[in-house]
Amino acid sequence: MIDGGVVSAVEDVRRLMEARQYRDVVELASEFDRQQIVDEPELVLPIASSLQHLFRHREARALLDSSAESIRASYSPADTRRWQNLFASNLIEEGNLVEAKNLIEACLSSAEQADHHRMIASSLNNLGVVSSLLGDVEDAVRQFTRSIAVWQRRGYRAGVGRAHHNLGLVLTEWGRYDEAIAHFSLACDYFALVGTPEESTFTSFERAALLLEIGDYELAESLATAALNRAGQLGSLILTSAARKVLGKIVLRRRGPDEARSLLVSAARGAVEAGDRLLIAEVHEELTVLELLAGRSERASRHKQVAVEHFSSLGAVKRVGRMLRRIDELLKDEPKS
């Protein structure tokens, strides 16, 4: 039998989740014994979700691992779908894309049979992230667009903003800048209304990366610097490291290797500490470029090897190809002695 304190906490957590007060949800969780949380789906699932929104993925994974048995014992298809979706998000962060895709597809199938619209939209969004990481741009765009349509029908603006952010990200990565501008703009509009500080910060430095590619270096650096400062205030290692990567890339383009080096080295350390394989690969790609520009081919080769290994471990073969083409172009442009 559930005690009154847990019942009250469940009600409080529902209210806080509706308001997207994720830090308050996590703070409330500290008042309870871990086993009480793990045994109650209406606590463990929103708490794990809140930790993911705060980019505290390892803590979310630990809770989800601990709660797997209690979720199975609940015999609730809805709770199972919620757990699957959250666990798949963690698998994506860890780079286990095939396992994540299989779990998302199972969740989506169940959600469609039950007309669980919010879970349908979330699953589509997660499938889009997997396709994006694998370099399947058109499938990613299709899945994100479908998720937007479902979320809009349900009036869930935060989900719409998240999918527009993801569209901006994948389109920037693959050079479709005009389309990316529109989606990042829409993401900013939605997050200004219903976003969390973490979401707004994430979109800010990714917009900065886009501005770099279209040649607005000054605005790109200003936006990335502000985003890095906010990430530091939020205390998020992943956000801070990702923002350093973007700012380092901008500084490298504007002022050269010497000024960019400390930013990218710090980003690499943070990515390793966070265990984010995609970020590790992306930072080492930028360090490869930096060392080539600095004339240090042996160091560049070591960084390239790390990037290739991590991209390949994710199954992101197309990302490897794109990086190698970028390096080849850079080598072609080097002055001949």
Around 106, how many Cα atoms within 13 Å sit in the side-chain half-sphere? 17
Residue 1: pLDDT over 50: no
Residue 177: pLDDT over 80: yes
Q: What was the pLDDT predicted at 241?
A: 98
Computed from CA positions of residues 273, 279, 284, 286, in that sequence, does the dihedral angle turn out positive or negative? negative
Q: What was the pLDDT predicted at 4?
A: 61
* pLDDT tens by residue, 50-97: 999 999 999 999 999 999 999 999 899 999 999 999 999 999 988 899
Instruction: List the structure tokens of 275.
Output: 């265990």
The pTM assigned to this predicted structure is: 0.92
User: Length of the chain, please?
Assistant: 337
Residues 136-160 as b/e (b if ≥16 CB within 10 A, e otherwise) read bbeebbebbebbbebbeeeebbbbb
Residue 337: pLDDT over 60: no
Q: What was the pLDDT predicted at 334?
A: 63
Computed from CA positions of residues 28, 33, 34, 35, in that sequence, does the dihedral angle turn out positive or negative? negative
Q: What was the pLDDT predicted at 95?
A: 87
Mean pLDDT of the region 161-165: 97
Mean pLDDT of the region 274-294: 96
Instruction: List the structure tokens of 320.
Output: 């490897």
Residue 281 is inside which H or E element, if any?
helix 277-293
Residue 262: pLDDT over 80: yes
Q: What is the mean pLDDT of the chain?
A: 94
